[in-house]
Structure 1
């Protein structure tokens, strides 16, 4: 067994708009998760392989908790993003400009939209639990 840090020391937190249907919600969460994991080193994310009794490997699962919360609207998500930027916390975000068409079309649509006009659908963060709680505790669990 690997000597691991306290699993409650850090965490992932995704805050998602409650205004999306389940298919869109899962798509947004997938994009956010993949994007954020690219920013983290293997050591930082503390990814683990699990091995079952038959010797099968269940690879690359996070040692840290992944909490999913819901937000009422885009402005609340924008504030989470701003806090992450101000505090130097690693994050990804997803807006409505990223939903239709291919990635080239989505990038162009995003580039043609002022930040103040973007509709945020989700933000995903990774960092110290206590710092993240300071500005995410007002959100409820996504159920």
Structure 2
């Protein structure tokens, strides 16, 4: 029925090795193609210096940076993780609202209140205000 049915019969080990060699060979071809196409000939002094968040990489690394920037970055990570936890809950409650138990709705509400409470605390503390302290 199939064209290749009687011509080639491979054992499972040989078929896995064949796929492995194909994937490795294909990735090597793509890496060589990327090296050929890339623009490595354009070495300029400004492009060779690493860029570290606006700081001069050739100066001392002990220069203090803004604590407000650090706190804002931590806040972003915390709220980002909370949003990652919140999206599956919203999807599950939205798709099957009646079958979700009252306990799951209660804990989802508590989670949202903690999130909103933390946001109001940060607003009240002034972490999110970017006015200059002259």
Verify same fold: TM over 0.5. Answer: no
Structure with higher strand content = 1
Larger of the two Rg values belongs to structure: 2
**What range describes the TM-score normalised by the shorter chain of this pair?**
under 0.3
Give the TM-score taking structure 2 as reference length. Answer: 0.18
Judging by fraction of residues, say which structure has more helix: 2
